[in-house]
Amino acid sequence: MSILIDKKTQVLVHGITGKEGSFHTRKMIEYGTSVVAGMTPGKGGEKFEGIPVYNTVAEAAKAHKINASVIFVPARAAADSILEAAEAGIELVVCITEHIPLHQMMRTYEILEHRGTRLIGPNCPGLISSGKSKLGIIPGEMFSKGPVGVVSRSGTLTYEIVDQLTRSGIGQTTAVGIGGDPVIGSSFIDILPLFEKDPETKVVVMVGEIGGSDEEIAAEYIASEMSKPVVSYIAGFSAPPGKRMGHAGAIVTGTSGTAEAKAKALEAKGIPVGRTPHEMVALARVALTKV
């Protein structure tokens, strides 16, 4: 199986006619994703690669049975695009857009809490279920089918970890990039239970980075709620305090949010932490021998 998406997932692309939207829509289709509709205001009635384009999400949702949407619109319009998808009853929304104003995402997150829509992102690479479907910008060629689920705060690290797993002969069920902004729709503890319930996922790899407390919260959750082995990699052991590392949420303030502190919190709960991606892959291989 997989989590969140599979071959049956029917996808709407927001901003399908734009530069990024059109490029990545083609890549998603090539991978096997069922893109059934696109949305670009003012382009309704057109077609992109044979896919009908609508002016609004509501029009697209009325014409098609849409399970998920992926957002490639500018930051100034992205929060409204998320809410438009939620208003149309779309169950899963993946927002690739970065630099969305923080106050807009805080408002959006609060509204989504009262709806039945799951948000992945923003500022994320998306997700992919190996050999089935992908939403977002994740390159599919490095993935292979197998028993490991991956959840990560970093897009680039997702690619690196998956590539090393595949090269080591360890395939993946689903990989989810949750995003590195201070306010995101889904955290580690929102994704981990999905892997716990998935019968084909035998081991979970959690990729974290400096800043925030998501990894520490996840450590408590894993220890109390998960039966499947989880191994981790934390990026940023050499990051200096006060310097942002790539993501808006990846910043060490004082002694809080350091890679070392996160590793200690995880290891205290019995969750092994690799200091390099290669070491993490070795830990995953050991975990697989025990399930």
Catalytic residues: 247
Run of H or E residues at 36: strand 34-39
**109 burial class (0-12, 13-18, 19+ CB within 10 angstroms)?**
middle
CA dist 238 and 224 (Å) reads 30
How far is 79 from 106, CA to CA, in rounded Å?
Answer: 10
Answer whether 141's CB lies under 8 Å from 234's CB.
Answer: no
The span from the CA of 142 to the CA of 150, in Å, is 13
CA distance 176 to 3: 9
46 exposure class (CB count in 10 Å sphere: 0-12, 13-18, 19+): middle
Name residue 289's amino acid: T
| Residue carrying the six token digits 């997150």 | 109
SS3 24: helix
Q: Quick one: how many helices (H) and strands (E) in the chain?
A: 9, 14
Cα gap 141→212, rounded to integer Å: 32
